[in-house]
Amino acid sequence: MLRLLVPIVLLLALVGVSVFSDNPAPRADLVFINSSDVNTLDPQRMSWMHDLRTARLLFQPLVQNDVLSDDFDIIPGVAESWEISDDARTYTFHLRHDAKWSNGEPVTAEDFRYSWRRAMLPDLVSDYVAMFMNIDGATEFYDWRLAQLDAFSDRDFANASERQQAAYDLWDETHAQFDALVGMQAPDPQTLVVRLSKPVPYFLDICAFGVFAPVYEPLVAQYERPDPQTGRLIRRPGWTQGGVLISNGPFILTRWRMKRDMRLEKNPYFWDRDNIAIDSIDIPSINDPNAGVLAYQTGAVDWIADVTAPYRGEMVAQKLEYLAEHAEQVEQLRAQGLDQFSIDRMLPPDPRAHTHAVSSFGTYFYNFNCKPFLPDGQPNPFADARVRRAFAMCIDKRAVADQVRRLGEPVASTLIPPGSIGGYTSPKGLPSISDAKTPAERDAIIAQAQQLISEAGYPQDFVVTLSFNKDAGHDLIAQTVAKSWQKYLGIQTRLDQKEIKIFRDDLKDKRYMTARAGWFGDYGDPTTFLDINYSTDGNNDRAYNNPVFDDLLDRASVELDPEKRMAMLSEAERILIEEDLPLVPIFHYATIYMFDPHKITGLSTHPRTKQNAYLIEVLGDGKGPEQPRPMHKGNGHDQSRGEPQS
């Protein structure tokens, strides 16, 4: 069967690589495959990982994460330094004088006020608008604008001209309201003062998020105007085209051919340009995962940012075989504190070493619907935490990770990937059959789970419905989970596979019993995971409601002592995954990269998987160990950074 697939896959690869065939420009210094075609290059409208990966090449926020450090420190970006007030609510950023747009104009504090105002508008429908609501007055501004737009739609106008003028008047008034309500001031071009509605210990981390990057108002404003029918701002995307886009990041966009490729060149005005080792980047559009792997193998690309080929489990297995062959050397290098990419670079060259499985800042889990009644009106067994605990204890997570996924992903006992957030101590989690080291331990866990169901008053003959969407192997995971529940609890499970849109709608409307789910963190704080279980949060698809859990999050949101705050959040996660179990963590995701460690350096092994391609250096011919040049951090990294992030 595999032999029959080879010609087909090769044909797909040739089709994918053909994007280069009509490219008159020389091969770029770095060619990489993004995980998918870019949806938008408007930072305020981004939400997908591949969009944000591209944004970090083109735009730079006030601050950034040091992705090559173990603790993912906040380091300067456009802001070379900052101070935080004693009440932890006012941030004063000092912008560097040599920060410039790609047309040579200076980046100013007003550029950030303009860009963040765009993100706060209900007109934009930004997926991350809630992050901006941390700023004092932002919620009031958002609500005011929304009310005015509703009122505008209900007004009667004498003619189209009057309606058009009213739309422009409302837009002018919106500017004035932003100035009056929102805690953002620019006392001079190089100073930005931001006042928060309450202390947000991770505010600097979200300031490093791509959505907070600035856009160039003189260009963007040409593509925006108030709609005379609704009063809302109409946005046209023409300003993001290659050769048109003006950005402030390490690279500029010279070409963007939809469904074909992108070409980026080093920004001659970028303040830290001398510390960027590559001058050009090509991002071909190769959406077939098999074609992508073969394009890499033929040398057409240097790095695949997310390998999703169906045989990637075999690729990871081959990498493990390679490491096992050099086990003694690997252990010696690990003892020196080297990360996996550095270790790979010190080992003998081998194509098997080009596959890299890196722990990600995300967790795959199963939801339990916590509502008292199911959609059909029947009592819901999972409304009782004892039943949820019992089912959580009897999932063979090891079988899911090792036999179904086969990507080296760690079994999860917590929602937050351990070690991914500095200063945070993870709870132990609820013991499950995956933790049992002997048959006796496993039998004791099973007996305890059966006792919990009995105490809850449920017989073992009820049927569970497990919902999941097509594709991505969710069906195989569901089958494994169903077998576990049948084997260890004697409870039958009906598998309910749905199209992705129907599945998502059912999840949001709580029309399910149990359902697969997953979550990737957006910023480096436990709340990026815990908040999705807050009783009123829009991502609480479980209908989970525990006042004790909510109170811990509420108290942590105003706690200024970092250690006390982290202790509160750790206790909140303990309640979540040891007592209440509205969800059961199954495994922590791994991202699979493909690159030659003897050729490519500058990629991060950190679980946040926030790769900055502009840090990459391409070494030699990849035929043997070659040490990269010392990684420069840029002249801004040595400046005062104000208060450390908690």
Cβ(199)–Cβ(643) under 8 Å?
no
| CA atoms of 595 and 573, how far apart (whole Å) | 36
Give the pLDDT mean for 154-170: 91
Of 44-53, 335-344, 448-457, 473-482, give the lowest mean pLDDT range.
Answer: 44-53
Give the pLDDT mean for 411-434: 93
- As to burial, measured by CB atoms within 10 angstroms (0-12 exposed, 13-18 middle, 19+ buried), residue 543 is middle
What is the DSSP annotation of 113-166?
HHHHHHHH-TTT--TTHHHHTTBTTHHHHHHHHHHHHHHHHH---SSHHHHHHH
Assign 635 a pLDDT band (cuts: 50, 70, 90): very low
Predicted local distance difference test score (pLDDT) of residue 621: 54
pLDDT value at 204 more than 60: yes
pLDDT value at 130 more than 80: yes
**CA proximity to 390, closest of 342, 446, 437, 337:** 446
Give the pLDDT mean for 544-551: 97
Helices (H), 208-337: 217-220, 289-297, 312-325, 327-335
Of 164-168, 233-237, 251-255, 629-633, give the lowest mean pLDDT range.
Answer: 629-633
- Measured at the CA of 607, the angle between CA 602 and CA 609, to 5 degrees, comes to 50
Assign 86 a pLDDT band (cuts: 50, 70, 90): very high
Predicted local distance difference test score (pLDDT) of residue 606: 87
The owner of tokens 């979540």 is 576
| CA atoms of 234 and 225, how far apart (whole Å) | 5
pLDDT value at 57 more than 60: yes
**pLDDT tens, 259-300?**
899 999 999 999 999 999 999 999 999 989 999 999 999 999
Bridge partners (DSSP) listed for residue 82:
93
Cβ(534)–Cβ(540) under 8 Å?
yes
Q: How far is CA 369 from the centre of its chain?
A: 25
Of 345-354, 385-394, 494-503, 634-643, give the lowest mean pLDDT range.
Answer: 634-643
Share of the chain above pLDDT 70, in %: 92
| CA atoms of 374 and 337, how far apart (whole Å) | 52
End-to-end CA distance of the chain, in Å?
A: 54
What is the DSSP annotation of 188-234?
ETTEEEEEBSS--TTHHHHHTSGGG----HHHHGGGEEE-TTT-PEE
Give the pLDDT mean for 408-431: 93
pLDDT value at 165 more than 70: yes
Give the pLDDT mean for 436-451: 95
CATH 3.40.1160.10 fits 361-590, yes or no: no
Predicted local distance difference test score (pLDDT) of residue 492: 92
| CB atoms inside a 10 Å sphere around CB 124 | 17
Give the pLDDT mean for 8-16: 45
Coil, helix or strand at residue 288: coil
| CA atoms of 53 and 34, how far apart (whole Å) | 8
**Helices and strands (DSSP H and E) totals, the chain:** 20, 20
Of 1-5, 106-110, 544-548, give the lowest mean pLDDT range.
Answer: 1-5
**CA proximity to 264, closest of 428, 102, 152:** 102
Give the pLDDT mean for 607-622: 85
Sign (positive or negative) of CA dihedral 95, 97, 103, 108: positive
pLDDT value at 534 more than 70: yes
Predicted local distance difference test score (pLDDT) of residue 192: 98
Assign 627 a pLDDT band (cuts: 50, 70, 90): low
CA distances from residue 106 to 98, 243, 591, 623 in whole angstroms, order as listed: 7, 19, 37, 43
| CA atoms of 579 and 431, how far apart (whole Å) | 11
450 DSSP assignment:
H
Predicted local distance difference test score (pLDDT) of residue 22: 55
| CA atoms of 174 and 172, how far apart (whole Å) | 5
Give the pLDDT mean for 229-242: 93
Average pLDDT in the chain: 90
| CA atoms of 422 and 69, how far apart (whole Å) | 11
Give the pLDDT mean for 136-156: 94
Cβ(255)–Cβ(263) under 8 Å?
yes
**pLDDT tens, 356-389?**
999 899 999 999 999 999 989 999 999 999 999 9
Predicted local distance difference test score (pLDDT) of residue 23: 52
**CA proximity to 57, closest of 84, 32, 92:** 32
Structure tokens at 514: 């149990």
Predicted local distance difference test score (pLDDT) of residue 12: 46
Predicted local distance difference test score (pLDDT) of residue 4: 34
Instruction: Identify the helix (H) or strand (E) that includes residue 14.
Output: helix 2-17
Structure tokens at 578: 């040891």
Domain boundaries, the chain: 361-590
Give the pLDDT mean for 510-521: 94
Instruction: Identify the helix (H) or strand (E) that includes residue 419.
Output: none
DSSP strand pairing (514-520 vs 464-469): parallel
Give the pLDDT mean for 498-521: 92
